[in-house]
Amino acid sequence: MPNNFKISKTNNSRLSQLDFDNIPFGKVFSDHMFVADYIDGEWTNMEIVPFGNFEIHPACLALHYGQSIFEGMKATVDLDGRPLFFRPEKHIQRLNNSAARMCMPAVPDEMFHDAIHQLVSMDKDWIPPATGSALYIRPFMFGNGETIGVKASDTYKFIIFTGPVGPYYSKPVRLWVESEYVRAAKGGIGEAKASGNYAASLLPAQKAKAAGYDQILWLDASEFKYVQEVGTMNIFFVIDGKVITPITDGAILKGITRDTVMTILRAKGYEVEERLIEIDEIVQAHKAGTLTEVFGTGTAAVISHVADITYGEHEMVLPPMEERKVGALAKAEIEGLRNGTIADTRDWIVPAKQMVKV
Ligand code: COI
């Protein structure tokens, strides 16, 4: 194995405790995880170990100043039970873009790929076979320097753990358009998958939940005029048969599912526009009856339909599910690629290969 990982296999698999018919999102973790340290300018201590706690110094920089990033990706099985990744190279690229923005070292491509292949091959029996379910893979990195001086850390920990998941949203979501709080501003860290972006959303999300909404649709931070994203998803609108999504302007996450959906829909003949979208345009399209569909895209969410959107006094209820074709079409293609029933013509699917038998 190129990276010479040390591998310690668990003697105590928890797999038999997993109820494959009832998997809550984000609460079940597979048997193993990959860990590595960045010390003196290089990655070292690369190891696959049983999933579990680790020690952290009370002055760990990430805990105080938020130097912490993550990725979210998925592995599924095809109909013959073979584990597959979906566009893994896009995730390491994005992780390293996030790392650059947050003053953190790059994760070498080879270490990342070797780690996910070995880890997922070892824990492949944790991959739920049901359509819409997957093994969620969570790579993350944080500065673990031990000082409370404000600076970029000299040392980092990189970990990848996995866990079986069902759908993130079990039904179409109700969105609240936020006109007081912001998620991210141009020039900030909104494009990075940085932990702080999610922390910033917690209070407004709590308020939106208390008012009966599932998620927030964020507007731009300077004028509260242009649609950004949902926070757990990028957003797509279908107006007059045309598919539109906000252009990523530095404050919006460059979603990999967003890119996948645009590519699939263009190939199916849809006109897809990435551009600035005023929230007033959405209100007008809804009034005119031309807003036929709204859906969000994300690794966890895949494609989740929007039930309604509330912006001030405007409550926009979207058409019934049976009338929505576009999101459903893209979702069916993604699911087909993920279970091998649709041929992969774009090299998006990468079979997992076990590098070392253990
Ligand atoms: C993902 O889609 O993987 C995300 O990172 C969203 C997450 C916060 C659940």
CB contact set of 183 (below 8 Å; sequence gap of 6+): 190, 197, 200, 201, 216, 218, 221, 228, 229, 231, 251
Structural contact between residues 275 and 247, judged by C-beta atoms closer than 8 angstroms? yes
pLDDT of amino acid 180: 97
* Secondary structure E strands in 166-204: 173-177
For residue 72 and ligand 1, the question of a CB distance below 6 A is answered with yes
Does residue 298 have its Cβ closer than 6 Å to ligand 1? yes
Is the distance from the beta carbon of residue 292 to the nearest atom of ligand 1 less than 6 Å?
Answer: no
The pLDDT, as a whole number, for residue 101 is 98
Positions of CATH 3.20.10.10 in the chain:
173-324
- Residues spanned by CATH 3.30.470.10 within the chain? 6-167
Other CB atoms within 10 A of residue 108 CB:
15
**Residue burial 221-246, b: 16+ Cβ < 10 Å; e: rest:** beeeebbbbbbbbbbbbbbeeebbbb
Strands (E), the chain: 6-7, 32-39, 42-50, 68-70, 73-77, 83-86, 134-143, 156-165, 173-177, 215-217, 234-239, 242-246, 272-275, 291-298, 302-311, 314-317, 349-351
Sign of torsion over alpha carbons 209, 213, 216, 222 = negative
What's the pLDDT at 3? Answer: 61
For residue 300 and ligand 1, the question of a CB distance below 6 A is answered with: yes
User: Does ligand 1 come within 6 angstroms of the Cβ of 299?
Assistant: yes
Nearest CA residue ID for atom 6, ligand 1: 232
- Ligand 1 atom 5 nearest Cα: 72
Q: How would you write the pLDDT of the chain (358 residues) with one tens digit per residue? A: 456 789 999 999 999 999 999 999 999 999 999 999 999 999 999 999 999 999 999 999 999 999 999 999 999 999 999 999 999 999 999 999 999 999 999 999 999 999 999 999 999 999 999 999 999 999 999 999 999 999 999 999 999 999 999 999 999 999 999 999 999 999 999 999 999 999 999 999 999 999 999 999 999 999 999 999 998 999 999 999 999 999 999 999 999 999 999 999 999 999 999 999 999 999 999 999 999 999 999 999 999 999 999 999 999 999 999 999 999 999 999 999 999 999 999 999 999 998 888 8
CB 243 within 8 A of CB 273: yes
Q: What are phi and psi of 205, to 5 degrees?
A: -65, -40
- Give the pTM: 0.96
Q: Is the CB of 228 under 6 A from ligand 1?
A: no
Picking from 240, 298, 301, 299, the residue whose alpha carbon sits closest to that of residue 273 is: 240
Question: What's the confidence (pLDDT) of residue 227?
Answer: 98
Which of 118, 164, 157 minimizes the C-alpha distance to 137? Answer: 164
- What does the pLDDT read at residue 2? 53
From the alpha carbon of 71, which atom of ligand 1 is closest?
5
CATH of 6-167, one of 1.10.640.10, 1.10.600.10, 3.30.470.10, 2.40.30.30: 3.30.470.10
Regarding the beta carbon of 143 and ligand 1, being less than 6 Å apart is answered no
Q: What architecture does CATH give domain 173-324?
A: Alpha-Beta Barrel (3.20)
Concatenated DSSP letters of 102-141: TT-PPPPHHHHHHHHHHHHHHTGGGS--STT-EEEEEEEE
The packing angle between helices 109-122 and 88-101, to 10°, is: 130
pLDDT of amino acid 282 = 98
